[in-house]
Amino acid sequence: MKNNITLIGMPGAGKSTVGVVLAKVMGYRFVDSDLVIQEKTGKLLSEIIAEKGTEGFLQVEDEINAGLDCEKSVIATGGSAVYCKNAMAHLKEISTVVYLKLPYERVEKRLGNLKDRGVALKDGQTLKDLYEERCPLYEKYADVVVEADTTSVEACMRKILEKTMH
């Protein structure tokens, strides 16, 4: 039974911001998978990346997200969750996956220091490279795509509700 909504998209797309409001309106729980990772490991995302590297971080993320046990929840994933095949298979099984789509220019404008945000960049990789690499994965896993560009949090939330409530 798919009684959860999972939000995917680039860092800065509004997954956590929209997710909290969406959960309140629906009477659902809000789960931020980045916070679950930090809670279970006892470390900040940036510390995990510094210690284990990007690949090591993705293994941790895959394992923890694949084990999420949620009902009536809005799940905001980290932007890199789409690299985690086990986790994404699990999330598609338990939820409707919504891609919050944002043009590159808006992502760039919204993001501050990538390292502080725990963004998993490979050596020499730019934000633009990351965006171009991830967008096809977001499209692949999404059940629903919502343009999150010029809308308010409320408008974005309404679009999600319209597209996910049958």
Annotation-wise, does 34 bind a ligand? Answer: yes
Is 79 annotated as contributing to ligand binding? yes
Contact 110, 65 (CB under 8 A): no
pLDDT of residue 54: 87
> Position 96: which residue type?
T
Residue 116 above 80 pLDDT? no
Confirm whether residue 16 is marked as ligand binding.
yes
CA–CA dist 93, 57 (Å, integer):
23
pLDDT in tens, 31-54: 999 999 999 999 998 899 889 988
Rounded to the nearest 5°, which phi and psi values hold at 31? -125, 120
Known binder of ligand: residue 106?
no
CATH number for the domain harbouring residue 84:
3.40.50.300
CA distance 23 to 90: 20
Query: Known binder of ligand: residue 33?
Result: no
Range of the domain at 36: 4-165
d(CA 47, CA 22): 30
pLDDT tens per residue, range 127-138? 889 999 999 999
Q: Is 112 annotated as a binding residue?
A: no
Q: For 63-99, how does the pLDDT look when each residue is reduced to its tens digit (9 = 90+)? A: 999 999 999 999 999 989 999 999 999 999 999 999 9
Is there a binding annotation on residue 124?
A: no
Structurally, how many domains does the chain consist of?
1
User: Known binder of ligand: residue 54?
Assistant: no
The arrangement of strands across the sheet holding 95-101 comes to 29-32, 73-76, 4-8, 95-101, 144-147
Mean pLDDT across the chain: 90
pLDDT of 1 > 60? The answer is: no
